[in-house]
């Protein structure tokens, strides 16, 4: 796996400013969940459950309209041909270098992909020409379990047709599956000048909303994002889409808030390491710059861990000495020269739980589904704070085990 | 008096057709551009010089030679001895996408002729560039064909010329430039000896010495089992990843990328421990060690103690200058091109 060989050149973009608040009106915050959390925090020993011999399957998202109950949130990717759907799924979930997407062939059938990551979900890549609301088409089967429909619009191309089809689709969904989030990716914005990009984005939002209100829908759950596979924006957008599908999000946010408060951390993210999607962050404002920083940091950790964590043959002289002494979960700290103080802190979470020792190979990404907590330290963080943070991260980690019951 | 004179000046020519990507790669490796930024670059007018200080006593004197026909004509005629005299390395860049490969090669042989006339001992590196534009499965073969053909036109340099397939979009660029730099470092052997000793003392699995601004590897020492490490491209991967990280840190903190340096970075896992720390004025040391807190702590202290010896190595290999005083290495003499 060479996830980060081709590190995506980042361009600072204040995406978050334009994005709709992903949680607004959709919060699944339940006071009960928080109460349970508090109890767990006070009472960790009793709350602790013995580890299973079999690695647990964490099914985090259970969807309102899921019939089969396998709990896999399913994402559907739809849009016109050549709008960039296959590219998005290749770049985000298979780490294809963006420039390689030029060689992706046209998709001729629905592609289902199960992602073996912290969350299991599926991406259905629809070829543009399929009319899935055709009565002959088994829509039931398609839509019954999805959590979000991602509609990709090529911002560099004519988008009137795309908007018409999107409109038709939203109307259909509103009738039968009103709980599905519609996420519109205004895509390939890398090719547009800043002004033109903003205008295009606004124009698309305006048209979609006008059409919907003409049809009598004022508050359909539709959100808009500007994306490109050539920078971090596509990952940020996916993060926000997926966060909406995590019922425990409010709990996670509360936990992160309390971590930030007790250690005076500027910003904390909980990342799914392999997909580099963040599943939660504290509720202070985010900006894409922070996201990029964390994402590049993960690249460093993943790459170095891959390079030096290779499977050494058994019986290397002296190896037993250190055998179990280290922590299975990687931990990392960066101090910058000019700032002098701890700047970034990363701690992998639950990696050891997920990895079966006999097959724990870094080279096999399927074996290592894990999260990482990344903290951006404030200006005044000193080295002594490390102990405090370690302690609190430990508490956080324990709490997290309870958030995702087995 | 002038510390510049005592430094080993090495003249490096960067040549090739206009648009081949010379300025792009130079800006990425030496001036903290990211690959996306290079679209903004205009054609180079005549020659752009940059002085890049490397490892204390190596001063790269890089000549980025604009490749438009008029300029090349001029290099080959009026400025022939000025351009081609006392050259240590010629880097010639071919654009893989070029429609006129045959013409490019003719152009190349003219340059080679001038070089063998004025600097017969120079070393030639050929970069076959923009490989990202070729489909993955076709790359190896196309590269081999082009390399063969170019070697045929290399006259006196036929047997010594080295080829690299490069792209600004991946770490191949770092691989090529690491080899070029290694060729130029005058005291690589003594650095390696000292590094080897250090590695023994701290029981490191691997030590990588790299230049702080470019993140290019100067040299490395690998011990014991680590020689079996299957990731043979790890050095350029580490260069590339550290460089990207440096840029994102710089962007985030507002510190210019040239000076956005780690004081320290550490990674601890159950399989290994790894840290990066400053070694000399221009270099960082990355160490991979066994997963033990004791070894880790001891290693950090030992590296701290070894710093003066490495600093000395930079100075010792230059003619003694007793009157040097506090002036020594001007601390401001970081990579010259960093401000571009
Ligand atoms: N696809 C791709 N494009 C590249 C690569 N390297 C450079 N380019 C592009 O090539 C174009 C020309 O690059 P320059 O670096 O200005 O070319 P140059 O060789 O300095 O040209 P002169 O200064 O006129 O001699 C730029 O627009 C870059 O975007 C690469 O590895 N892959
Ligand atoms: N500039 C740019 N091009 C993109 C982006 N995403 C995809 N593309 C290009 O769009 C083309 C069509 O992509 P593809 O994924 O096959 O579209 P699909 O038919 O929707 O699956 C490819 O040539 C991609 O390289 C992007 O973010 N920016
Ligand atoms: Mg497709
Ligand atoms: Mg140029």
The architecture CATH gives domain B188-333: 2-Layer Sandwich (3.30)
pLDDT average, residue stretch B300-316: 82
**The last residue of a domain, from among A203, A222, A243:** A243
pLDDT average, residue stretch A158-177: 86
Mean pLDDT over each residue of chain B, to the nearest integer:
84
Greater pLDDT, A347 or A226: A226
Q: Are residues A287 and A390 in the same domain?
A: yes
Residue B258 contacts residue B332 (beta carbons within 8 Å): no
- CA dist., res. A12 & res. A356, Å (int): 39
Assess if residue A398 is contained within a domain.
Answer: yes
Assess if residue A38 is contained within a domain.
Answer: no
- Supply the range of the domain harboring residue A234: 74-243
**The last residue of a domain, from among A223, A243, A263:** A243
- Cβ neighbours of residue B280 under 8 Å, at least 6 residues apart? B55, B56, B307, B310, B311, B314
Counted across chains A and B, CB pairs separated by less than 8 A come out at 163
Q: Are residues A204 and A339 in the same domain?
A: no
H/E stretch holding A210 reads helix A194-214
In the stretch 53-92 of chain B, residues with CB closer than 8 A to chain A read: none
In tens, the pLDDT along A360-389 reads 344 344 344 578 889 888 766 666 677 788
Which residues of chain A make contact with B234, given a CB cutoff of 8 A? 307
In this predicted structure, what is the pLDDT of residue B200? 92
Q: Are residues A290 and A358 in the same domain?
A: yes
> Which pLDDT band, with edges at 50, 70 and 90, does A142 fall under?
low
Nearest atom within ligand 1 for CA of residue B133: 1
Q: How far is A32 from chain B (nearest CA, A)?
A: 37
Per the CB < 8 Å rule, is A5 touching B206?
A: no
Nearest to B132 among A99, A325, A336 (CB): A99
Q: How far is A135 from chain B (nearest CA, A)?
A: 41
- CA dist., res. A393 & res. A399, Å (int): 10
| pLDDT greater than 90 at residue A224 | yes
H/E stretch holding A265 reads strand A265-272
Assess if residue A24 is contained within a domain.
Answer: no
Which residues of chain B make contact with A334, given a CB cutoff of 8 A? 249, 262, 264-266
In this predicted structure, what is the pLDDT of residue A299? 86
In this predicted structure, what is the pLDDT of residue A32? 29
Q: Are residues A377 and A277 in the same domain?
A: yes
Identify which ligand lies nearest to the alpha carbon of B170: 1
Asked if the C-beta of B297 comes within 8 angstroms of chain A's C-beta atoms, the answer is no
Pocket of ligand 1 (CB under 6 A): B 16, 18-24, 38-39, 41, 43-44, 66-68, 129-130, 132-133, 167-169
Q: How far is B266 from chain A (nearest CA, A)?
A: 5
Per the CB < 8 Å rule, is B261 touching A332?
A: no
> Which pLDDT band, with edges at 50, 70 and 90, does A264 fall under?
confident
Which one-letter DSSP state was computed for residue A367?
G
In tens, the pLDDT along B141-158 reads 999 999 999 999 898 888
In tens, the pLDDT along A80-129 reads 888 888 888 888 877 788 888 887 877 766 666 666 555 555 556 565 55
How many CB atoms sit inside 10 A of residue A356's CB? Answer: 13
Torsion of CA A273, A275, A280, A286, to 10 degrees: 100
- CA dist., res. B280 & res. B272, Å (int): 25
Least confident of A89-93, A222-226, A300-304: A89-93
In this predicted structure, what is the pLDDT of residue B326? 37
In this predicted structure, what is the pLDDT of residue A58? 33
| pLDDT greater than 60 at residue A16 | no
Assess if residue A223 is contained within a domain.
Answer: yes
In this predicted structure, what is the pLDDT of residue A110? 67
Q: How many CA atoms lie within 13 A of A62 on its CB side?
A: 9
Q: Are residues A183 and A274 in the same domain?
A: no
Q: What is the CATH number of the domain that holds A374?
A: 3.30.450.190
- CA dist., res. A78 & res. A80, Å (int): 7
In this predicted structure, what is the pLDDT of residue B243? 86
- CA dist., res. B216 & res. B32, Å (int): 12
Q: In what order do the strands lie in the sheet with B262-268?
A: A277-281, A265-272, A371-377, A342-349, A331-336, B262-268, B273-278, B283-289, B206-211, B217-222
Residue A76 CA, ligand 3 centroid: distance in Å: 13
- CA dist., res. A289 & res. B260, Å (int): 16
Identify which ligand lies nearest to the alpha carbon of B15: 1
Greater pLDDT, A109 or A155: A155
- CA dist., res. A252 & res. A259, Å (int): 11
Nearest to B251 among A289, A297, A318 (CB): A289
- CA dist., res. B215 & res. A250, Å (int): 41
> Which pLDDT band, with edges at 50, 70 and 90, does A71 fall under?
low
Nearest to B274 by CA among A273, A300, A339: A300
Atom 6 (ligand 2) nearest CA: A84
In the stretch 128-187 of chain B, residues with CB closer than 8 A to chain A read: 132, 135-136, 169-171
Q: Are residues A383 and A284 in the same domain?
A: yes
CA distances from A57 to A73, A113, A242, A353, B139 (A): 14, 17, 18, 11, 41
- CA dist., res. B69 & res. B90, Å (int): 18
Number of domains in chain A: 2
Mean pLDDT over each residue of chain A, to the nearest integer:
70
Nearest to B268 among A290, A297, A326 (CB): A326
Q: Are residues A146 and A256 in the same domain?
A: no
Greater pLDDT, A33 or A228: A228
Assess if residue A179 is contained within a domain.
Answer: yes
Nearest atom within ligand 2 for CA of residue A80: 20
Assess if residue A105 is contained within a domain.
Answer: yes
Cβ neighbourhood burial of B232 (10 Å; 0-12, 13-18, 19+): exposed
Which residues of chain A make contact with B132, given a CB cutoff of 8 A? 97, 99
Assess if residue A57 is contained within a domain.
Answer: no
In tens, the pLDDT along B93-145 reads 999 999 999 999 999 999 999 999 999 999 999 999 999 888 888 999 999 99
| pLDDT greater than 50 at residue A231 | yes
pLDDT average, residue stretch B231-253: 85
Least confident of A288-297, A368-377, B289-298, B311-320: B311-320
Nearest to A232 by CA among A287, A283, A300: A287
The tokens for A58 are: 């964490």
In this predicted structure, what is the pLDDT of residue A406? 45
H/E stretch holding A122 reads strand A122-125
Q: Which residue of A has its CA nearest to B171?
A: A5
- CA dist., res. B233 & res. B178, Å (int): 12
Greater pLDDT, B303 or A286: B303
For strands A122-125 and B273-278, give the pairing: unpaired
Domain extents for chain B? 8-184, 188-333
- Do B8-184 and B188-333 have matching folds? no
Residue A295 contacts residue A276 (beta carbons within 8 Å): yes
In this predicted structure, what is the pLDDT of residue A36? 27
For residue A358, the SS3 value is helix
Instruction: Specify which residues A373 forms β-bridges with.
Output: A270, A347
- CA dist., res. B26 & res. B13, Å (int): 12
Identify which ligand lies nearest to the alpha carbon of B134: 1
Per the CB < 8 Å rule, is B278 touching A325?
A: no
pTM for the full model? 0.74
Atom 32 (ligand 1) nearest CA: B130
Q: How far apart are the first and last CA of chain A?
A: 29
> How many percent of chain A have pLDDT more than 90?
12
**The last residue of a domain, from among A243, A262, A295:** A243
Per the CB < 8 Å rule, is A300 touching B255?
A: no
| pLDDT greater than 60 at residue A19 | no
| pLDDT greater than 50 at residue A241 | yes
Residue A262 CA, ligand 3 centroid: distance in Å: 47
Q: How far is A308 from chain B (nearest CA, A)?
A: 7
Residue A198 CA to its chain's centroid (Å): 25
Per the CB < 8 Å rule, is A334 touching B237?
A: no
- Cβ neighbours of residue A21 under 8 Å, at least 6 residues apart? none
3-state secondary structure chain B: CCHHHHCEEEEEEEEECCCCCHHHHHHHHHHCCCHHHHHHCCCCCCEEEEEEEECCCEEEEEEEECCCHHHHHHHHCCCHHHHHCCCCEEEEEEECCCCCHHHHHHHHHHHHHHHHHHCCCCEEEEEEECHHHCCHHHHHHHHHHHHHHHHHCCHHHCCCCEEEECCCCCCHHHHHHHHHHHHHCCCHHHHHHHHHHHHHHHCCCEEEEEECCCCCEEEEEECHHHHHCCCCCHHHHHHHHHHHHHHHHHHHHCCCCCCCCEEEEEEECCCCEEEEEECCCCEEEEEEECCCHHHHHHHHHHHHHHHHHHHHHHHHCCCCCHHHCCCCCCCCCCCHHHHC
| pLDDT greater than 70 at residue B72 | yes
Q: What is the CATH number of the domain that holds A221?
A: 3.40.50.300
Pick the CATH number of B8-184 from 3.30.450.20, 3.40.50.1970, 3.40.50.300, 1.10.1240.10: 3.40.50.300
Residue A183 contacts residue A86 (beta carbons within 8 Å): no
Which one-letter DSSP state was computed for residue A113?
E
Least confident of A44-58, A274-288, A381-395, B9-23: A44-58
Nearest to B292 among A6, A10, A322 (CB): A322
Identify which ligand lies nearest to the alpha carbon of A225: 2
Assess if residue A40 is contained within a domain.
Answer: no
Q: Are residues A110 and A227 in the same domain?
A: yes
In this predicted structure, what is the pLDDT of residue B330? 36
Atom 7 (ligand 2) nearest CA: A84
Residue B221 CA to its chain's centroid (Å): 18
């Amino acid at each position: 796996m060479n996830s980060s060989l081709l590190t995506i050149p980042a361009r600072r973009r204040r995406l978050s400013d334009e994005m709709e608040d992903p949680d607004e009106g959709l919060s699944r915050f339940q006071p009960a969940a928080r109460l349970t959390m508090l109890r767990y925090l006070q009472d960790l020993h009793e709350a602790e459950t013995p580890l299973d011999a079999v690695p647990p399957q964490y099914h985090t998202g259970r969807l309102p309209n899921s019939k089969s109950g396998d709990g896999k949130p399913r994402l559907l990717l739809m849009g016109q041909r050549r709008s960039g759907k296959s590219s998005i799924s290749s770049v985000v979930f298979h780490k294809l270098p963006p420039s390689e997407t030029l060689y992706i062939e046209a998709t001729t059938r629905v592609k289902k992909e199960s992602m073996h990551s912290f969350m299991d979900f599926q991406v259905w890549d629809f070829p543009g020409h399929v009319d899935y609301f055709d009565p002959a088409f088994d829509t039931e089967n398609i839509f019954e379990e999805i959590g979000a429909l991602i509609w990709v619009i090529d911002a560099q191309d004519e988008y009137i047709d795309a908007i018409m089809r999107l409109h038709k689709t939203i109307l259909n969904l509103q009738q039968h599956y009103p709980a599905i989030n519609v996420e519109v990716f205004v895509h390939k914005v890398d090719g547009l000048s800043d002004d033109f990009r903003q205008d295009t984005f606004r124009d698309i939002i305006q048209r979609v909303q006008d059409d919907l209100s003409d049809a009598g829908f004022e508050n359909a759950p539709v959100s808009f994002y500007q994306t490109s596979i050539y920078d971090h924006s596509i990952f940020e957008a996916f993060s926000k889409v997926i966060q909406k599908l995590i019922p425990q999000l409010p709990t996670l946010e509360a936990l992160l808030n309390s971590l930030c408060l007790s250690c005076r951390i500027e910003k904390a993210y909980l990342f799914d390491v392999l997909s580099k999607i963040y599943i939660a962050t504290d509720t202070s404002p985010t900006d894409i710059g922070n996201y990029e920083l964390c994402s590049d940091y993960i690249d460093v950790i993943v790459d170095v861990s891959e390079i030096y964590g290779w499977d050494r043959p058994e019986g290397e002289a002296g190896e037993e000495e250190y055998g179990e002494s280290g922590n299975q979960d990687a931990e990392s700290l960066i101090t910058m020269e000019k700032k002098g103080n701890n700047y970034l802190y990363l701690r992998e979470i639950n990696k050891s739980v997920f990895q079966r020792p006999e097959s724990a190979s870094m080279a096999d990404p399927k074996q290592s589904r894990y999260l990482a907590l990344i903290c951006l330290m404030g200006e005044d963080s000193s080295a002594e704070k490390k102990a405090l943070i370690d302690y609190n991260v430990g508490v956080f980690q324990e709490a997290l085990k309870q958030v995702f019951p087995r | 008096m002038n510390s510049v004179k005592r430094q080993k000046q090495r003249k490096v020519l960067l040549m090739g057709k206009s648009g081949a990507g010379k300025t792009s790669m130079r800006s990425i490796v030496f001036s903290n551009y990211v690959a996306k930024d290079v679209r903004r670059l205009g054609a180079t007018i005549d020659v752009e010089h940059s002085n890049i200080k490397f490892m204390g006593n190596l001063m790269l004197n890089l000549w980025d030679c604009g490749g438009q026909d008029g300029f090349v004509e001029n290099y080959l005629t009026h400025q022939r001895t000025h351009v081609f005299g006392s050259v240590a390395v010629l880097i010639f860049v071919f654009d893989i996408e070029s429609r006129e490969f045959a013409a490019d090669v003719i152009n190349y042989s003219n340059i080679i002729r001038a070089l063998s006339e004025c600097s017969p001992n120079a070393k030639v590196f050929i970069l076959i560039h923009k490989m990202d534009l070729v489909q993955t499965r076709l790359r190896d073969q196309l590269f081999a064909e082009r390399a063969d053909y170019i070697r045929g036109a290399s006259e006196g340099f036929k047997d010594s010329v080295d080829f690299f397939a490069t792209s600004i979009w991946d770490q191949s660029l770092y691989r090529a430039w690491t080899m070029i730099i290694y060729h130029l470092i005058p005291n690589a052997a003594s650095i390696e000896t000292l590094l080897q000793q250090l590695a023994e003392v701290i029981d490191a699995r691997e030590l990588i010495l790299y230049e702080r601004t470019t993140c290019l590897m100067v040299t490395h020492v690998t011990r014991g089992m680590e020689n079996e490490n299957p990731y043979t491209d790890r050095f350029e991967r580490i260069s590339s990843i550290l460089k990207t990280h440096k840029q994102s840190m710089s962007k985030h903190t507002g510190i210019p990328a040239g000076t956005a340096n780690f004081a320290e970075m550490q990674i601890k896992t159950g399989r290994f421990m790894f840290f990066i720390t400053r070694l000399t004025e221009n270099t960082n040391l990355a160490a991979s060690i066994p997963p033990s807190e004791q070894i880790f702590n001891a290693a950090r202290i030992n590296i701290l103690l070894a710093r003066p010896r490495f600093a000395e190595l930079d100075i010792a290999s230059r003619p003694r200058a007793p009157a040097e005083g506090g002036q020594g290495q001007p601390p401001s003499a970081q990579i010259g091109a960093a401000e571009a």
